[in-house]
Structure 1
């Protein structure tokens, strides 16, 4: 999924990137930058925060944004 598709899925749930970020305790700018960088990627994010953001977004919208993300051992932590 690309950034616009993710944004559309959040809007369907009545959320924006900013609202999602504040609800989950992330900085809104970090969420938008992370989505811009990693949406549509086939590789896992390197950083813990980026990984957590993509994991939480995947769970929120019900779609695995990066193949293997939710099956990764770190996805089950926290």
Structure 2
């Protein structure tokens, strides 16, 4: 969902960035936090279920790839090679 949809549903709110007036910050509302508190354990349980049958060496390789993704995303994928 886009921020505006989440904002319209009352799950997030936008507020001024005191460090940079050109940008806005987005944060969870009380209702958004309640929803996150409900969904995160369900997501974690599903993730555990999906990974439960992978052998340790495959889990380690998967973890390595996941740790590299933010770096690749941040530089447009240039360092992923």
- What's the TM-score once normalised by structure 2's chain length? 0.27
Whose radius of gyration is greater, 1 or 2?
2
- What's the TM-score once normalised by structure 1's chain length? 0.28
